[in-house]
């Protein structure tokens, strides 16, 4: 049952608070293509290579949020995308080097690589749409959508010479068109000075035709006149890593999964002796950032992204007496045992995850509905 809301007075909102408090994330889109020579290797080698690469990539689940996608059948020059999100760029380099050292890595060519960072937009949300928080842009929280459309983006220099007010007007029109397609979710990140482009755009949706219609509609907006480059464009299909590897060819390794079948997935958090009381840590599990809390000699794991605007719950204030945490961005409060929203402006709960201690090591796990990935 939903706990009773107590409504402690909420401290006044500070629009810059989230940006001041929260580390911006680094984002990498790495596109790989397989050398056809690999497809002519004996089946036992192909299987061994796939398992080695799988294990190598999965070891990085503790250091970054990592989503695999397949581009087989959608693009000629890339077959796998690894979408990576981390608090520092260093894990990206470590992962790239680890992949290069594997047997299969010797046959993989990195055909495209994009590097960017999250940032709050300089444009304002129009009155009446305050439910959409620009603060959400500080953190990426991928959905389970089946398709991801990715492209780099550059504006003309003329765009930056227009006044902020003029650009705001054009962005308002742009946003209004986007609002007609609620099934399409946009993740914008920034590349100025980091890579050759200015922005990286990644649209998630289950309906590719909605994305097509959206892009066509956007061509008629005033802001479109200021687009210098918005290619190459990648159509990526969300799937499990073993399925994405099977899609490139060779002997298959993915086990068939019946619709509705559950499978377990666990990630190691660390030794319990090193986990100080009334503190929190984060790990990544199946493409989600999980906040793990040590409170009153118990361990609790919840989705680390606040259900209001993705605030980082592991950075919030822990109350052992209440077994709760207060989101650092706008002070929404959650029960760590149930994930329920119990105070402040939050209304929706956050997911809870299972915790287990094996040989003094703490693990977080979940039953995952594999059939949807």
CB of 327 to ligand FES, least distance (A): 3
CB of 194 to ligand FES, least distance (A): 26
Dihedrals φ, ψ of 47, to 5°? -65, -45
Nearest-angstrom CA–CA distance, 317 and 124: 29
Nearest-angstrom CA–CA distance, 5 and 8: 9
Q: Which is nearer to ligand FES, 211 or 293 (CB)?
A: 293
Nearest-angstrom CA–CA distance, 258 and 45: 28
Asked if residues 83 and 69 have their Cβ atoms less than 8 Å apart, the reply is yes
CB of 243 to ligand FES, least distance (A): 33
Q: Number of residues in contact with ligand FES, rule: CB under 6 A?
A: 10
Query: Which of 180, 164, 168 is closest to 218 using CA atoms?
Result: 180
Q: Which is nearer to ligand FES, 170 or 306 (CB)?
A: 306
Asked if residues 272 and 260 have their Cβ atoms less than 8 Å apart, the reply is no
Site for ligand FES in 343-362 (CB under 6 A): 345-346
Q: Which is nearer to ligand FES, 10 or 263 (CB)?
A: 10
Burial class (CB in 10 A: 0-12, 13-18, 19+), 336: buried
Nearest-angstrom CA–CA distance, 52 and 34: 16
Q: Which is nearer to ligand FES, 28 or 288 (CB)?
A: 288
Dihedrals φ, ψ of 253, to 5°? -125, -20
Distance of CA 335 to the CA centre of its chain: 24
Asked if residues 250 and 41 have their Cβ atoms less than 8 Å apart, the reply is yes
CB of 245 to ligand FES, least distance (A): 36
Site for ligand FES in 282-341 (CB under 6 A): 306, 308-309, 311, 327, 329-330, 332
Q: Which is nearer to ligand FES, 250 or 332 (CB)?
A: 332
CB of 86 to ligand FES, least distance (A): 21
CB of 249 to ligand FES, least distance (A): 44
Contact track, ligand FES, 35-74, x by CB under 6 A: ----------------------------------------
Nearest-angstrom CA–CA distance, 45 and 136: 44
CB of 313 to ligand FES, least distance (A): 8
Q: Which is nearer to ligand FES, 68 or 344 (CB)?
A: 344
CB of 318 to ligand FES, least distance (A): 15
Q: Which is nearer to ligand FES, 267 or 306 (CB)?
A: 306
Tokens of 127: 């009155």
Q: Which is nearer to ligand FES, 142 or 311 (CB)?
A: 311
Asked if residues 328 and 314 have their Cβ atoms less than 8 Å apart, the reply is no
Tokens 């980082």 appear where? 312
**Residues in contact with ligand FES by the rule CB under 6 A:** 306, 308-309, 311, 327, 329-330, 332, 345-346
């Amino acid at each position: 049952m939903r706990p009773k809301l107590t409504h402690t007075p909420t401290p006044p909102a500070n629009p810059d608070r989230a940006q001041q408090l929260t580390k911006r994330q680094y984002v990498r889109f790495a596109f790989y293509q397989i050398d056809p020579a690999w497809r002519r290797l004996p089946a036992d080698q192909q299987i061994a290579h796939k398992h080695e690469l799988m294990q190598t990539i999965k070891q990085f689940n503790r250091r970054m949020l990592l989503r695999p996608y397949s581009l087989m059948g959608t693009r000629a020059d890339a077959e796998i995308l690894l979408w990576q999100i981390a608090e520092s760029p260093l894990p990206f380099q470590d992962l790239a080097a680890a992949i290069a050292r594997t047997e299969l890595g010797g046959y993989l060519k990195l055909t495209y690589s994009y590097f960017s960072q999250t940032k709050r937009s300089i444009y304002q949300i129009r009155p009446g749409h305050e439910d959409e928080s620009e603060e959400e842009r500080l953190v990426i929280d991928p959905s389970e959508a089946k398709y991801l459309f990715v492209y780099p983006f550059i504006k003309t220099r003329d765009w930056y010479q227009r006044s902020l007010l003029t650009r705001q007007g054009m962005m308002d029109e742009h946003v209004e068109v986007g609002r007609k397609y609620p099934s399409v979710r946009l993740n914008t990140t920034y590349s100025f000075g980091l890579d050759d482009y200015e922005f990286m755009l990644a649209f998630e949706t289950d309906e590719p035709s909605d994305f097509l219609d959206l892009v066509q509609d956007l061509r008629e907006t005033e802001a479109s006149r200021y687009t210098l480059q918005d290619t190459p464009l990648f159509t990526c299909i969300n799937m499990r890593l073993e399925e994405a590897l099977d899609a490139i060819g060779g002997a298959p390794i993915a086990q068939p999964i019946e619709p509705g079948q559950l499978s377990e997935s666990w990630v190691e958090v660390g030794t319990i002796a090193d986990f100080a009381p009334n503190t929190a840590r984060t790990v990544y599990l199946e493409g989600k950032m999980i906040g793990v809390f040590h409170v009153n000699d118990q361990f609790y794991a919840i989705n680390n992204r606040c259900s209001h605007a993705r605030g980082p719950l592991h950075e919030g204030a822990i109350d052992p007496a209440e077994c709760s945490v207060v989101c650092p961005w706008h002070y929404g409060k959650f029960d760590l045992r149930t994930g329920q929203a119990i105070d402040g402006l939050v209304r929706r709960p956050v997911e809870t995850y299972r915790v287990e201690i094996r040989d003094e090591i703490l693990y977080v796990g979940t039953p995952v509905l594999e059939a949807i990935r």
